[in-house]
Amino acid sequence: MEQLDRIQRAVDHDDPAQVIGSARELIESTAKVVLTERGRSVNNKDDLPALARQAQEALGLQPSSSTPGPDGTDAVRKILGAAIAMATGIGELRNRGYGTGHGPASARVGLRARHAHLAVNAAVTWCQLVLDTLADPEAPWRKNP
C-alpha cells in the first residue's frame, strides 16, 4: 500500500507528523478494504473509529462476541477492545494537530521519533489483525457470515 511507503519515508526522514497522518490513513484504507471485501457499504463520511469498529464487526472481531474457542475468551476480547482503542487513538492524535491531514494553528511541538513509532506500530498491528482475519479460512466471520 502506498501508505506504508509514505510511512517508511517519513520515519527515515524524522517526520513524526507525517507518520501519524499516514498511520491514520493506513487504518482508514484497510478498514474500507475489509468492508468492501465483506460486501458492506462504505460511508465516506464515517470517522475513523466508526470505520475501524465496522471492519472489526464485519470480521466477527467485536469485543462483545461470544464466539467459541480462543476468539471468545476474555483475554482475546480485551485485546480486540484495545485494537479498536489503538485505531481511535491514532485518529485522535492526528486530529489534535500532531499528524498531517489537518492544518495546525501553530507549530507542532514535542513530537519525537518515539511518537512516530508508537503510531506506526499500532496501525500495523490493527491492520495485520484485520487482514489476517479476512484471509483466515477458519475465521469467525466465515462461520457466521
Q: Which residue has the higher pLDDT, 106 or 29?
A: 29
**Position 98 confidence tier, pLDDT thresholds 50, 70, 90:** confident
**Position 4 confidence tier, pLDDT thresholds 50, 70, 90:** low
Structure-derived torsion over alpha carbons of residues 32, 12, 100, 118, reported in degrees to the nearest 10:
70
What's the domain count of the chain? 1
- 42/39 Cα distance (integer angstroms): 9
Kindly tell me if the per-residue pLDDT of 120 is higher than 80.
yes
Cα dihedral 120, 126, 128, 131 sign? negative
**Domain range spanning residue 122?**
2-143
Q: What is the mean pLDDT of residues 83-95?
A: 95
